[in-house]
Structures are given as structure tokens and as C-alpha cells.
Chain A
Amino acid sequence: MTDIFAKHAGLREAYEGLTAASPRNPFEVVIERPISASVGIIEGRETLLFGTNNYLGLSQSKKAIEAAVETAETMGVGTTGSRIANGTFGLHRKLEAKLAEFFRRKHCMVFSTGYQANLGTISALVNKDDVLLLDADSHASIYDGAKLSGAQVIRFRHNDPVDLEKRLARLKDHPGAKLIVAEGIYSMTGNVAPLDKFVDIKTRHGAYLMADEAHSFGVLGDHGRGVAEMQGCEDGIDFVVGTFSKSLGTVGGYCVTDHDGVDLMRLCSRPYMFTASLPPEIIAATMAALEDMQERPELRIKLQDNAARLHAGLQKVGLKTGEHVSPVVAVTLETVDQAVGFWNALLENGVYVNLSLPPATPDNRPLLRCSVMAAHSPEEIDRAVAVFGEVARHFGL
């Protein structure tokens, strides 16, 4: 009998090598409970949370909590069905209308997760006769959506409009539809995409453009509509995809667009159709968090100030970060051993960040990925920077 797990031998070796060298398993960190948006109990200690993507701190929104409790009490805790069967409540439609209005678009589809929003949108839009042009550093959900679609996939160099144009030019005689996919803020590095330049290119080459604003929704732009709003190019983006699990603090995903053809996506997007819809209390909390976000633009200003403070602080203690100031601030290290040691020391000194390892990181280098929140106080940021500085000195960096 063939060992069904034999294929994982390489993974096992890498995993065991990594966990043997680490006092704790980096993949099994447990936040015993959050105390607030910025502090949680880990290993029995109060720990500053600098790796939660909870950019506006709205996972703890009072308004969202009250909406969830009230809805669970009146409607129950689940829908027990797919959106195209018994899983569409009035609330799902209401949230879709609210999001369409927020993004000033004609249509919105809500998915059960952000991952499924990418999978469901990409796989419904293109098929084997079409071509997808993906930024090389795209999130796994974009690559997986591409695979599910069966379309030809061509990667272009990260954030490089010239490279994208070169690849589109090679496709000038290809008869299929061409869909370019880029992210607003890249989740690992915090890099911001030149969406305005991509819009110019897609227009000249007759392609479509989809932007995944998962990390920029609620974060960038005067109204929080993301990088496209910030760069003044929203009209040129055909499809905007994103998630509720970051700035809105809940779970779920969306696709908004002005293309009327999207209605039929509800009948051919498998990740939309063949899964249970979001529970009513999550929809209610998401709507309340969206209102909270709209009513409190000061959260975005605070977030930008905090991002700048952390970015500058880490650079000042001599660490290598990305050039873009965004709420994702990644410290690049050279070796995995160094990164694992550094990450453990941070946690032991009361700071939690994400340990991101190749091949999930660009350039084959490990990252200590921090995400900043509007909920962080200046003192919490300074404390985290001080711990980073002490650990860096300890490791001779």
C-alpha cells in the first residue's frame, strides 16, 4: 500500500527542523483570550498584539458586539445553507446593498470568507480560454482561484507596470479575455500597488483589472475605499475584492463591481454556491462595524500616525523594513534561524508579531511581520520598538 503521507516527507523534515530549533511552535501560538484589541493573554502573560490585522480595532467594536448579540438572540446563530438555497436572509441582501453604496458600485456579492471571495470571483470570471496576469507576489487565495479557474496564468514582476505591459503586449493576438489581478496593500511586506498605472495599461490593452483591497479597505483613501480611492483610479478598476476579517474585525469577503454580468456569477461561482452562508450575527456585526468605520474617520488618521511611528521606530533601531509606510510593517531578516530566535525573544518579552517564512515571503527571506492598529497607544508602539531594539542588540543585528 502506498503511504498516502509520503508526499509530505519534505514538509515534515522542514517542520521538524524548525520546531526543534524553537522553544515554542510558531504555528501553534494560542491567544488564550484578548483583553482588548491591542492586548491578549499568551502563555499566561499580557502580551502586546502587533500581528492581528485588526487595523481599526473593530473586532472589539461595542456597536458590532451589541448587533451580534441582538441578532443571535432574535435570529439564531447560523443559516444552515448556501446563498443560492436557504442561506440568504434579508440581512445578507442588506449588507450587500450597504457595501455597494459604500464603494459607489452597482453590485456586491458577499462570500463566506475573504479567501472564498478571491476564489469565487476569479474562478467565475475566467476559464481555460482566458488569461490571468497575476502580480508575482499575489496571495495564495489568488493563485488558488487561478488554479480553480483553469485559465492560463502569467506572472508579472511585483508592482512593475513596465513588466505587466510587456507581458500584455506578448498576448496581443490571444483571443481570450485578459484579467489582471493586483492587491492594494501586499500582506507580507506592506507594499502599495501602483493601481493607477495598471488602470492606464489595462485600458490601452483591452484587459480587465481586479484589485484585492483586503489590507487597504478601511485603511487607505479619504473614505477608506482603499488604494484605488487614494490614487484616484476607482473608475478604472473593474472588480474590487476584499475581506471583513481585517479592518471590520469580523469574517467574510466581498466583490463589488459595476459590471451587470456579475449577477450570473451567483450561479457559477462554486466557492459562493457550495458553502454555507455567513451566520446572521456575523452579518449584523459586519454592518455595525462598517457604520462604525464610516462614523469614525479619525480611526484611519490614528492608524496612519501609528504606522508612521512604528515604521520610523523600527528603522531607528537599525532594522530593515519596507519602504512604504503602511499598517503592515515587515522587518526583513536574513536567515530562518535568526528569524525564529528573534520571534521567540519578542514573544518572551511580551510582543506578539507574525513569523513569516519562505516560500510564503518574497525574495526567500524570513519576515517579522507587524500589523499596526488605530487602537495602539503611542506608549504601546514605543514599548514594542524598544523590545525590538533590545532583541536586535542581543542578536548582534
Chain B
Amino acid sequence: MTDSVAGISGMIIEKLLANPKVPRDIDGNSKIVEDLAFDSLAVMNFVMEIEDELDVSVPLDKLADIRTINDLAACLHTLKVAHA
């Protein structure tokens, strides 16, 4: 499930929906800050949870370029492939 960008994106959405405050209609194109109302700290803390799931670490500078859930999934996929 986490071998592809789409798979990682699906896993992220599933984790996000576990939080009742997150809007129900999110998809891969949802913007993390604007659509999910996450502040910078919430983004960093959420990424920490995903890191454990995939056994990768995301350097903070990589987060600066991430806007959507799919962007995050692509970043995690690249790191996972490089780490494998």
C-alpha cells in the first residue's frame, strides 16, 4: 500500500480522517495549510506520525515546498525509495 505515491497519499488521508476536526471531503489535492487549517507546528507533528509509519525521516527544509497531500506523498515516496 505504501509502495506508490497514490498508496502513501491514501494512507495519509486515512490518518488525517481519524482526526474529527479535519474536513470529511479531503483528497490528494487538498492543501494542508489552507484546506486543513493546520499551522506549521501541526504540520510538523503530523509528519512525525507518518514518518514512523514509513520508517523515514523528513528533513524540515523539504516541508517548505509541500502544499498538498499529494506533494507530501511524493516527498515521502522519494525518501523511502532513497532509503531502501
A171 CA / B58 CA spacing, docked (Å) = 11
| Interface presence of B20 (CB below 8 A) | no
Band of interface residues on B: 10 to 19
Stretch of A95-103, A149-157, A224-232, A275-283 lying at the B interface: A149-157
Instruction: Enumerate chain B residues within 8 angstroms of A155, measured Cβ to Cβ.
Output: 44, 48, 60
State whether A170 touches B83 (Cβ < 8 A).
Answer: yes
State whether B48 touches A136 (Cβ < 8 A).
Answer: yes
Instruction: Enumerate chain B residues within 8 angstroms of A167, measured Cβ to Cβ.
Output: 57
Given contacts A152-B61, A153-B61, contact A170 B56 (CB under 8 A): yes
State whether B83 touches A154 (Cβ < 8 A).
Answer: no
Q: Tell me whether chain A's interface is mostly helix, strand or loop, or mixed.
A: mixed
Given contacts A136-B48, A170-B83, contact A364 B42 (CB under 8 A): yes
Given contacts A136-B44, A155-B44, A155-B48, contact A359 B60 (CB under 8 A): no
A154 CA / B40 CA spacing, docked (Å) = 15
B35-78 interface mask toward A, CB cutoff 8 Å, 1 = contact, 0 = none?
Answer: 00001111011001000000111111100000000000000000
Q: Which residue of B lies closest to A360 (CB)?
A: B41
A155 CA / B60 CA spacing, docked (Å) = 8
A130-165 interface mask toward B, CB cutoff 8 Å, 1 = contact, 0 = none?
Answer: 010000100000000010000011110100000000
Q: Which residue of A lies closest to B39 (CB)?
A: A359
| Interface presence of A358 (CB below 8 A) | yes
State whether A152 touches B41 (Cβ < 8 A).
Answer: no
A361 CA / B42 CA spacing, docked (Å) = 12
Q: Which residue of B lies closest to A133 (CB)?
A: B57
Among the listed A152, A157, A358, A359, which residue makes an inter-chain contact with B59, where contact means beta carbons less than 8 Å apart?
A: A152
A167 CA / B48 CA spacing, docked (Å) = 11
State whether A359 touches B57 (Cβ < 8 A).
Answer: no
* Interface residue ranges, B against A (CB under 8 Å): 39-42, 44-45, 48, 55-61, 83
* Interface residue ranges, A against B (CB under 8 Å): 131, 136, 146, 152-155, 157, 167, 170-171, 358-359, 364
25 A-B residue contacts at CB 8 Å?
A131-B59, A136-B44, A136-B48, A146-B60, A152-B59, A152-B61, A153-B59, A153-B61, A154-B57, A154-B58, A154-B60, A155-B48, A167-B57, A170-B55, A170-B56, A170-B57, A170-B83, A171-B57, A358-B39, A358-B41, A359-B39, A359-B41, A359-B42, A364-B41, A364-B42
